[in-house]
């Protein structure tokens, strides 16, 4: 008893100790709720030539370092970089819980704990500007952002040249990187498997290679990480480059997309500055990153009060086949678009996507006489189908208010805005403005030809999908879209949100048989492989891309008709980027599994331990025995299963395995 009283008294004295309180307050260390993930912020001199009080961070996972000291600063025009000579003036740690429900997405409910840090800093020299680092630690991610609060030095306005955020890998990590040509691309490049140092080894010349987010990396012996961003309103997109120019360069450095109207300036503002969240997702396996909700957690809650009109679904689409009619000839007419509506109705699809060709030049409020959209919408309504229409982004920039109000009167359900090609400050603001204006007129959005997702769909759940992917459309022109690409995308592009890959190609051929063509294109990979893509890829608006006649009399089309477009739960069973993946998704009481492989044939074991108690019926669509040479051939069987069952999936080269599991009544 006396020993307990002594311990309690010591603890009381420790808590009252001013020195210890100061030490705790000044700490820049933040640990995840499960104590496995840690990010620490400090100031100091990292090299003999550098300033004495630079701000930097480190990250470790399960006691192993992922990122070595990595510098942090903001390069504001007219002053030294904010963060190069600072001291910590205050530190506050707290805890929170993200609990919310998504309208559509890869899960319906989120409930995740986090610890947070508010780190206040001030410059040591005049004008003694203030800087705050806000950070969070979840069990599967750490994140931080810069905040320069309102202060005299910023009141007249500021021009942010760049954000100097380093990501100094603790080893020569293996990255899966999307190399982009410039700041106005459409994020439709391959993801390349290369070490970090490969981007710096330019014969001693500093690399100018731009890498788009997300960046996936395996840090040998430490874990898998992915760098992403979210909550970008008023800001500019971040790219990465390796500036070291040496064989041992393991550092990535941020580069903000520059404004087109101000040479060398990325962000203009006044009063205060708030960056986007810098997110580092972490896991022992790459599949854990796919399951992460970090991007949604760090985005603002829904700004739309009534979301009843926002519905996920699948759509028929005229563009992929070349707007071919029932006679096999191209016809961009109202009558032919009704044919695609009829197909959607017959197949139980919620939508029909009308692609380019309906408006007059440079005016998206006037039809050119080829397709009568109000008539098409009214016809579709009689079939319980709704219509989306295609738009050219530069015209939307100018006519958004007038056009969106008009489309609401027409009864249009959603807009596919294409060729955005901007993610500078103007481009990001356009995303927010378009989402807000579309919501005012009960219009959903599918954003094409532009940047990757950044959490906008939580704030504006009428944003159903983004392209920013090397998708199936590439089969019209070449061989870039293939099973190797298919197995890379879930671990890279899909980490940050839905992707309008536009699946559903039913002219499945071998690699040797394939050749590109514009109308009625072929696709590489087996029929079962392409069925499985509807489960593997997240797409709240799922295209059923091929010509209606391609699905006639095809028993395996039944899987596409039944598969949902939005989900309640996700489980990544296994996978390796660029090689294979198996994902299980739940909608209500039903589960779906999608497994795909690259050009290597595989036998995969799929444990069904995620099922509840009781018995289930599995409808299995797998590669037929001869699918290696006849990739259109699919085996369809039904099997009784439970949570002890382990399915054995045999995938041929470029093969797949798609399963629908329903509770036995």
Domains of the chain: 24-297 (2.70.98.10), 313-561 (3.20.20.70)
Contact 164, 254 (CB under 8 A): yes
Contact 176, 578 (CB under 8 A): yes
Question: Could you give the CA distance from residue 29 to residue 325 in angstroms, rounded to a whole number?
Answer: 63
Question: Could you give the CA distance from residue 560 to residue 534 in angstroms, rounded to a whole number?
Answer: 7
Q: Are strands 313-317 and 541-544 parallel, antiparallel or unpaired?
A: parallel
Question: Could you give the CA distance from residue 176 to residue 194 in angstroms, rounded to a whole number?
Answer: 7
SS3 198: helix
Q: Determine the pLDDT at residue 397.
A: 97
SS3 content of the chain, % helix, strand, coil (to 5): 20, 40, 40
The DSSP code sequence of 225-266 is: EEEEEE--TTS--EEEE----STT--EEEEEEPPPSSSTT--
Question: Could you give the CA distance from residue 451 to residue 665 in angstroms, rounded to a whole number?
Answer: 45
In the beta sheet, which residues pair with residue 470? none
**Token pair in block for residue 308:** 């009843």
Contact 315, 544 (CB under 8 A): yes
Q: What is the tens place of the pLDDT at every residue in 535-567?
A: 999 999 999 999 999 999 999 999 999 999 999
Q: Determine the pLDDT at residue 156.
A: 85
**Token pair in block for residue 278:** 């810098």
Q: Report, as ranges of residue numbers, the positions in the chain whose pLDDT lies below 70.
A: 1-27, 201-207, 245-247
E-strand ranges in 371-427 read 386-392, 414-418
Q: Are strands 541-544 and 580-587 parallel, antiparallel or unpaired?
A: unpaired
CA distance from start to end of the chain: 61
- CA 647 from chain centre, in angstroms, equals 30
φ, ψ for residue 573, nearest 5 deg: -80, -40
Question: Could you give the CA distance from residue 237 to residue 245 in angstroms, rounded to a whole number?
Answer: 24
E-strand ranges in 334-428 read 351-354, 359-360, 363-367, 386-392, 414-418
Q: Determine the pLDDT at residue 27.
A: 58
Neighbours of 588 (CB within 10 A): 11
* Of 181, 173, 110, residue with least CA distance to 140: 110
Lookup result for tokens 């699946």? 503
Contact 238, 254 (CB under 8 A): yes
Question: Could you give the CA distance from residue 423 to residue 235 in angstroms, rounded to a whole number?
Answer: 9
Q: Determine the pLDDT at residue 47.
A: 80
Q: Determine the pLDDT at residue 262.
A: 87
For residue 194, give the H/E element and its range: strand 191-195
Sign of CA dihedral 188, 196, 54, 88: positive
Sign of CA dihedral 643, 649, 655, 657: negative
Q: Determine the pLDDT at residue 203.
A: 52
Neighbours of 447 (CB within 10 A): 26
Angular region, 474: left φ>0, alpha ψ -120 to 50, beta rest: alpha
CA distances from 98 to 112, 114, 208, 288 (A): 5, 8, 39, 19
SS3 363: strand
In the beta sheet, which residues pair with residue 204? none
Question: Could you give the CA distance from residue 9 to residue 249 in angstroms, rounded to a whole number?
Answer: 52
Question: Could you give the CA distance from residue 283 to residue 223 in angstroms, rounded to a whole number?
Answer: 6
H and E: helices and strands count for the chain: 14, 37
Question: Could you give the CA distance from residue 44 to residue 21 in angstroms, rounded to a whole number?
Answer: 22
Question: Could you give the CA distance from residue 296 to residue 586 in angstroms, rounded to a whole number?
Answer: 19
Rounding to the nearest 10 degrees, give the CA dihedral for residues 401, 407, 412, 415: -40
* Of 168, 364, 339, residue with least CA distance to 251: 168
Q: Determine the pLDDT at residue 154.
A: 85
In the beta sheet, which residues pair with residue 262? none
Contact 662, 536 (CB under 8 A): no
* Of 566, 568, 520, 519, residue with least CA distance to 542: 566
Q: Which value, in Å, is the radius of gyration of the alpha carbons in the chain?
A: 26
Contact 134, 41 (CB under 8 A): no
Lookup result for tokens 């797949």? 656
Q: Determine the pLDDT at residue 21.
A: 30
Answer whether 0.75 is exceeded by the pTM. yes
E-strand ranges in 341-491 read 351-354, 359-360, 363-367, 386-392, 414-418, 444-447, 463-466
CA distances from 307 to 109, 147, 312, 409, 424 (A): 15, 32, 12, 19, 29
The DSSP code sequence of 67-101 is: EEEEEEEEEETTS--BTSBEEEEEEEEEEEEEEEE
CA distances from 571 to 485, 522, 606 (A): 21, 31, 11
**What is the 8-class DSSP label of residue 499?**
-
- HSE on the CB side for 621, CA within 13 Å? 33
């Amino acid at each position: 008893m006396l020993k307990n009283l002594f311990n309690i008294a010591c603890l009381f004295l420790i808590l009252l100790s001013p020195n210890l309180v100061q030490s705790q307050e000044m700490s820049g260390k933040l640990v995840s709720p499960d104590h496995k993930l840690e990010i620490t912020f400090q100031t100091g001199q990292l090299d003999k030539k550098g300033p004495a009080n630079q701000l930097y961070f480190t990250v470790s996972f399960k006691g192993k370092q992922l990122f070595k000291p990595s510098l942090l600063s903001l390069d504001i025009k007219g002053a030294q970089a904010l963060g190069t000579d600072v001291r910590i003036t205050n530190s506050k740690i707290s805890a929170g819980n993200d609990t919310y429900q998504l309208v559509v997405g890869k899960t319906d409910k989120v409930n995740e704990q986090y610890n947070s840090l508010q780190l206040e800093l001030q410059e040591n020299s005049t004008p003694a500007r203030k800087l705050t680092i806000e950070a969070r630690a979840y069990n599967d991610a750490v994140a931080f952002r810069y905040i320069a609060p309102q202060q005299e030095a910023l009141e007249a306005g500021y021009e942010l040249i760049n954000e100097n955020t380093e990501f100094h890998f603790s080893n020569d990590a293996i990255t899966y990187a999307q190399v982009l040509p410039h700041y106005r691309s459409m994020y439709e490049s391959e993801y390349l498997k290369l070490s970090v140092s490969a981007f710096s080894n330019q014969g001693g010349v500093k690399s100018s290679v731009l890498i788009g987010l997300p960046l996936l990396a395996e840090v040998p012996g430490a874990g898998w990480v992915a760098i992403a961003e979210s909550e970008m309103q008023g800001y500019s997109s971040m790219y990465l480059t390796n500036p070291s120019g040496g064989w041992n360069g393991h550092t990535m450095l941020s580069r903000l997309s520059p404004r087109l109207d101000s040479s060398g300036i990325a962000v203009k503002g006044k009063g205060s500055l708030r960056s986007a969240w810098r997110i580092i997702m972490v896991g022992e396996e790459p599949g854990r990153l796919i399951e992460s909700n970090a991007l949604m957690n760090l985005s603002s809650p829904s700004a739309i009060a009534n979301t009843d009109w926002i519905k996920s679904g699948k759509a028929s689409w005229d563009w992929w086949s070349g707007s071919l009619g029932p006679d096999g000839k191209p016809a961009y007419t109202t009558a032919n678009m009704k044919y695609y509506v009829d197909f959607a109705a017959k197949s139980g699809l919620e939508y029909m996507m009308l692609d380019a060709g309906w408006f007059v030049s440079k005016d998206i409020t006037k039809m050119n006489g080829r397709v009568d959209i109000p008539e098409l919408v009214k016809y579709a309504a009689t079939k319980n189908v709704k219509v989306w229409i295609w738009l050219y982004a530069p015209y939307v920039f100018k006519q958004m208010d007038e056009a969106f109000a008009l489309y609401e009167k027409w009864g249009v359900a959603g807009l596919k805005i294409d060729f955005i090609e901007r993610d500078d400050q103007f481009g990001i603001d356009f995303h927010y403005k378009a989402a807000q204006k579309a919501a005012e007129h009960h219009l959903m959005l599918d954003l094409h030809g532009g940047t990757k997702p950044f959490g906008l769909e939580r704030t504006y759940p009428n944003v159903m999908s983004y392209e920013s992917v090397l998708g199936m459309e590439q089969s019209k022109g070449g061989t870039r879209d293939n099973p190797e690409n298919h197995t890379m995308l879930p671990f890279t592009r899909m980490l940050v949100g839905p992707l309008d890959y536009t699946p559903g190609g039913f002219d499945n051929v071998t690699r040797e048989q394939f050749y590109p063509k514009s109308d009625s294109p072929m696709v590489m990979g087996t029929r079962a492989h392409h069925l499985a893509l509807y489960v593997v890829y997240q797409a709240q608006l799922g295209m059923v891309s091929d010509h209606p006649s391609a699905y006639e009399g095809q028993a395996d089309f039944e899987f596409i008709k039944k598969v949902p477009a939005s989900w309640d739960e996700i489980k990544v069973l296994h996978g390796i980027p660029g090689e294979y993946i198996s994902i299980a998704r739940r909608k209500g009481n039903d589960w779906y599994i999608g497994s795909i492989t690259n050009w290597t044939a595989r036998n995969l074991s799929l444990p069904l331990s995620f099922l509840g108690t009781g018995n289930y019926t599995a409808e299995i669509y797998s590669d037929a025995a001869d699918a290696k040479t006849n990739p259109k051939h699919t085996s369809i069987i039904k099997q009784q299963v439970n949570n002890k069952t382990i399915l054995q999936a045999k995938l041929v080269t470029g093969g797949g395995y798609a399963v629908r599991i329903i509770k036995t009544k």
